[in-house]
Structure 1
């Protein structure tokens, strides 16, 4: 998640923290909650589908609505926090996130659930940016801040995988609604105690303007693009004109974003921001890497429950080895990235991720966990762990101090948007034959299982293609330069 301003730009109300451990724990809990919600809903999706009567083509929106609002507003919420107070924006985000979680928990239909998930994403954008800015401001540059950032980075990776495990426990226990209800007391309590734990801070130079129009155009264009992709495989007969119109309007909104950025007084993306090769390459690869990651979690959860007949609890526990190996891979990468260039490490990680996804693509409809799923999980998980660290480091390589916040905002926006957009593309490709396969299955159990397997195989193949494309682009675009210590610390 982004660091929005260097330490010298902080106007803090208090001196160095007297309780650094408490501050770090509080901010990490706030961040962990937002990271967790990216994936915690995945295991609950089949249950939600049955209880609310959602179609399979609607399910991806439950995930992408959150990711798109989170990614689309990261840069804007960071600037709002700098100007109006990071603690104030953190508390705003916690309350908004808690109320939206309550709305998602009591949702009675698809519109209510997806709308609440979108508001959750907006609240998460406030939390993530403000919390990390407070963290960097409360720990002095050097070993103290590096350790704090290391704890934050470890949580972001582990939470994504731990979310699917916790989601299984809650869904099989008190029910899927508690996947959302659990956030309510945490968010409200966090908003209440924040003034007791962390001091207020803001940028000494209050900005006169904010590129709200740019943030709205970017997010609206991406959301409409994802929605239109889903309509191409909708169960209903959608007129071709509406689909083409959706794509055209999305293109206009994104073009409007580009024009707005050129004229804005305080653009989200200043001209020349992508002048560094490593930053360009890192952002492109991050989109593909997170597209692979979210596709894996989403469709593996459905495959285990709808094809292999796993319960939500068993599905959650099946992810435990994946969580462990991701943490191991990230730890190894953190040690190696200070000694070797980011490029070979990222290349190895993406190659392993692609290999694991190809193994899932070949998993049979009667797949055994130990021989078919576990090897794929371990290989892809190790690859993801090895990839997360160097892609972050590459984004910061050669970054000046006054550009660190922008670089962090860009790479995290690319990750969030990449996860949502990648899932939308994978779902569009996988669900394109649902009507045809449903007619072929004709309600025969064996055929239904075979049809579902074909759908999920296509999704895993799409994820493998994302990772492969990321590998190729890394080889072509990523410069071979040894990562600096400052880049490692910033990541």
Structure 2
């Protein structure tokens, strides 16, 4: 039976959908639980953000290595290994007894996700190389990607309030188990590994270390001013590590983590720059809105999650529209229109007030922003993998996922710090509201920059079918 399943593209699509939902869910499921996590384990107000950063940075920083490894060792092998590590790390995180243990478990989750996500996306790209089936497959992928991120807030809120914050970690274990079983018996190995050299582990460590140091330096500006020696030294170390990554990629005798020539493909470079900014805006907006509902409007975790449900449904609607419009409208126009619509929603979110409520401050902008976000996802993936050689689809997929996760961490660090500075030292509902409103307006501004990139950097519009 398993042998027959291996040759059904629908089975591969189902497995990839489950995997992407789980990976996306894990980035947002902890958001609503952060206040409870901070209280339960003794995190500081800024330290608790490392529950998010630890996952996003290891995920984003090692995705290129994961993509390269999937090209070399086989997509199915990396998928299964990543699922195993992801499930075990989730279990360990649920039993964490102090901040260090939880942050370490989240980092291990990110490593597992870095192995399985590019392998899954590469399997999807090679299983559905062109035509209407490709549009549909990437539409399903984008819907599950978006639904996992949005529903993660709902699931996290319900689990935090009615069970324990620990269940935001435990919830991944059954999903990882089911995905492992389905993938083991129902997914073909795909293209054989291309063994041109050993993957560049040093490059991966330099990239991850550089991004982590950069985020650390930005987050610490709540204690050390931008011009302080501490901040300047930290940022200088980050620059050195990232410059070292570029040098290693150019000179290594091993298989480079990413062939720098791939960025000569305008679709790849433009889509990843666009994706970095979208990731920064989306992760930050989830963070701000979750805290606004809980800390300004005094809404409980479960109800906060329910209030994010329209966003989740809107993303699915936008993804379905992208499938329908993908047969008629070029991908570039969908990327521009989707980002403009999402920016409009975030600017509306920026009008939140202390005396606001769900109907006046949340529902309308949630619908606008989520539909716009859904319109972006499928065309973005199709654009970023267009014209890439088959043996580099894993690398291209890893690069796309990496830019999203690194954007999420950098965006949260930068925009979160800006919001914190605007809030000031006196913490009241009014000052918190002002800080979150400023952060949401900055999210809208970031997306307008993404619109400019899509309009100018991407190649002439083509339908993403």
- Output the TM-score relative to the length of structure 1: 0.86
Distance in 1 (CA, whole Å) between partners of 2:433 and 2:154 is: 23
Residue 480 of structure 1: aligned partner: 460
Deviation, structure 1 residue 227? 1.0
Residue 357 of structure 1: aligned partner: 346
Residue 294 of structure 1: aligned partner: 283
Match of 1:317 among 294, 306, 315: 306
Distance in 1 (CA, whole Å) between partners of 2:23 and 2:135 is: 21
Match of 1:259 among 233, 243, 247: 247
Alignment of 1:382-401 (within 5 A): 382-399=371-388, 401=390
Match of 1:40 among 17, 24, 29: 29
2:334 maps to 1:345: yes
Residue 5 of structure 1: aligned partner: none
Q: 1:279 to 1:200 in 2, by over 3 A?
A: closer
2:243 maps to 1:243: no
Structure 1 contact 278–478 (Cα < 8 Å) conserved:
yes
Deviation, structure 1 residue 480? 3.4
Q: Which has more radius of gyration?
A: 1
Deviation, structure 1 residue 407? 3.1
Distance in 2 (CA, whole Å) between partners of 1:237 and 1:398 is: 45
Structure 1 contact 16–138 (Cα < 8 Å) conserved:
no
Residue 431 of structure 2: aligned partner: 451
Structure 1 contact 341–480 (Cα < 8 Å) conserved:
no
Residue 471 of structure 1: aligned partner: 451
Structure 1 contact 57–431 (Cα < 8 Å) conserved:
no
Q: 1:29 to 1:300 in 2, by over 3 A?
A: same
Worse-matched range after superposition: 298-307 or 191-200 = 191-200
Q: 1:156 to 1:175 in 2, by over 3 A?
A: same
Q: 1:476 to 1:194 in 2, by over 3 A?
A: closer
Q: 1:334 to 1:99 in 2, by over 3 A?
A: same
Distance in 1 (CA, whole Å) between partners of 2:199 and 2:334 is: 38
Q: Kindly report the root-mean-square deviation, in angstroms, between the aligned alpha carbons of the 2 structures.
A: 2.7
**Alpha-carbon deviations, 1:462-491, whole Å to 9, x = none?**
2122112212333333343223xxxx35xx
2:88 maps to 1:99: yes
Match of 1:64 among 30, 48, 53: 53
Structure 2 contact 333–461 (Cα < 8 Å) conserved:
no
Q: 1:339 to 1:195 in 2, by over 3 A?
A: closer
Residue 65 of structure 2: aligned partner: 76
Q: 1:381 to 1:138 in 2, by over 3 A?
A: closer
Deviation, structure 1 residue 455? 1.8
Structure 2 contact 89–108 (Cα < 8 Å) conserved:
yes
Residue 320 of structure 2: aligned partner: 331
Distance in 1 (CA, whole Å) between partners of 2:268 and 2:70 is: 24
**Alpha-carbon deviations, 1:85-139, whole Å to 9, x = none?**
4333223212211221122212233222222111111111112123334455667
Alignment of 1:74-223 (within 5 A): 74-135=63-124, 147-188=136-177, 190-191=179-180, 194-200=183-189, 203-223=192-212
3-state DSSP class of the match of 2:418?
helix
3-state DSSP class of the match of 1:437?
coil
Structure 2: unaligned runs, 5 residues or longer: none
Q: 1:107 to 1:152 in 2, by over 3 A?
A: same
Distance in 2 (CA, whole Å) between partners of 1:25 and 1:133 is: 14
Distance in 2 (CA, whole Å) between partners of 1:229 and 1:432 is: 12
Q: 1:240 to 1:458 in 2, by over 3 A?
A: same
**Alpha-carbon deviations, 1:150-198, whole Å to 9, x = none?**
4333211221111111111111211111010122244346546654444
Structure 2 contact 73–193 (Cα < 8 Å) conserved:
no
Q: 1:196 to 1:331 in 2, by over 3 A?
A: closer
- Output the TM-score relative to the length of structure 2: 0.91
Q: 1:113 to 1:237 in 2, by over 3 A?
A: farther
Distance in 2 (CA, whole Å) between partners of 1:142 and 1:342 is: 14
Distance in 2 (CA, whole Å) between partners of 1:189 and 1:358 is: 40
Structure 1 contact 46–305 (Cα < 8 Å) conserved:
no
**Alpha-carbon deviations, 1:236-256, whole Å to 9, x = none?**
899933222110110000000
Distance in 2 (CA, whole Å) between partners of 1:200 and 1:340 is: 34
Worse-matched range after superposition: 131-140 or 381-390 = 131-140
Distance in 1 (CA, whole Å) between partners of 2:142 and 2:227 is: 45
Deviation, structure 1 residue 324? 1.2
Distance in 2 (CA, whole Å) between partners of 1:402 and 1:98 is: 28
Distance in 1 (CA, whole Å) between partners of 2:102 and 2:58 is: 14
Distance in 1 (CA, whole Å) between partners of 2:390 and 2:182 is: 32
The number of equivalent residue pairs is 463
